[in-house]
């Protein structure tokens, strides 16, 4: 007998077959419309969900799946999974901490370099035949100050790359200081921004971090500062960021995530001091393999009566 698994995400080639071979019958609902209109017979059979933090699983969706037993978030984030509703039903929730940390850290440094060295603009200029017209002098990163909001697994990897590869001074803000951290702790985000040349957002999403980076923080970052967000779009006040970039109140920004994605505010698309990528920081062959292997490990453990590997924290 196979176990019915509902996936909220498209799966890369090879992974559907892997799940099927492991005893799972896959059903896909990758749009809000599909999730709201699941065939009743299929809905009654679903025992597991595969999702991501930005999609999540609502209380209503949980209620519509009477046989549901486990929800697996592919990555570390689970901010839009109604964990309270799941717990009330006795449904276990897992996530994927550490599975894509290296990829996200690599992408963060790439974004920092791209906005600092104006890589997109230089590429466009060369393609337009303007080799000699646009050989501008641009900033470097070495020896600058890096402020990280959220010194978790990903934040620590970013810090290590920046300090070791670019001789950057590193400071950070968490809800509390980390014992034995080699980096300078700042009790507030605004204080960190005022100190930093680069402010990297690496904190989890969710209600407690919504618009944590606001107009006041951006003002503190200043005209020579850069904002990098590889966390969740909701952590940054988009309107405040757009206004700050338009007025050149900060030097630039690079975003892998945007509040309300995949829709991007039209005002962002015309800014030449902004670099955008489509929420791909965590995607690499290695990280996808890590994530899917952990999802299957959690599912296999659960349905064989063993403790799961990575339950979400209480």
Active site amino acids: 232, 261, 279
Q: What angle do CA 274, 260, 88 make, to 5 degrees?
A: 140
Measured distance CA(135)–CA(122) in Å, rounded: 8
Residues 110 and 88: beta-carbon distance below 8 Å: no
Taking the C-alpha atoms of residue 109 and residue 202, their distance in angstroms, rounded to an integer, is 13
Q: What does the buried/exposed string (b/e) look like for 192-219 if buried means 16 or more CB atoms within 10 Å of the residue's CB? A: bbbbbbbbbbbbbbeeebeebbbeebbb
Residues 220 and 193: beta-carbon distance below 8 Å:
yes
By DSSP bridging, strand 145-149 and strand 198-201 are parallel
Residue 228 in 3-state DSSP? strand
Determine the straight-line distance between the first and last CA of the chain, rounded to whole angstroms: 32
CA–CA separation, 133 and 211 (whole Å): 39
């Amino acid at each position: 007998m196979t176990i019915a698994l509902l996936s909220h995400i498209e799966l890369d080639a090879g992974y559907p077959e892997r799940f099927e071979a492991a005893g799972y019958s896959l059903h896909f609902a990758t749009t809000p419309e599909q999730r709201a209109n699941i065939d009743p017979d299929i809905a009654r059979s679903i025992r597991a969900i595969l999702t991501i933090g930005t999609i999540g699983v609502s209380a209503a969706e949980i209620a519509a799946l009477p046989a549901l037993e486990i929800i697996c978030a592919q990555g570390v984030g689970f901010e839009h999974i109604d964990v309270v509703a799941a717990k009330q039903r006795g449904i276990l929730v897992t996530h994927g901490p550490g599975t894509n940390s290296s990829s996200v850290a690599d992408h963060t440094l790439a974004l920092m370099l791209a906005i600092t060295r104006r890589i997109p603009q230089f590429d466009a200029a060369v393609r337009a035949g303007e080799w000699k017209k646009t050989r501008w002098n641009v900033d470097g990163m070495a020896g600058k100050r890096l402020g990280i909001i959220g010194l978790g697994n990903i934040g620590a990897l970013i810090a290590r790359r920046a300090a070791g590869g670019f001789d950057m001074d590193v400071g950070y803000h968490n809800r509390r200081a980390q014992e034995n951290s080699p980096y300078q702790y700042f009790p507030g985000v605004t204080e960190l921004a005022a100190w930093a040349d680069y402010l990297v957002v690496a904190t989890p999403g969710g209600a407690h971090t919504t618009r944590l980076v606001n107009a006041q923080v951006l003002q503190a970052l200043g005209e020579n500062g850069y904002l990098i967000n590889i966390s969740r779009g909701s952590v940054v006040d988009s309107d405040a960021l757009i206004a700050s970039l338009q007025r050149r109140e900060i030097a630039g920004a690079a975003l892998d995530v945007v509040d309300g994605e995949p829709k991007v505010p039209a005002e962002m698309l015309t800014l030449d001091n902004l670099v955008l990528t489509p929420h791909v920081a965590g995607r690499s062959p290695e990280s996808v393999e890590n994530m899917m292997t952990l999802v299957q490990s959690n599912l296999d453990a659960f349905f064989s009566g063993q403790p799961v590997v990575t339950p979400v924290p209480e």
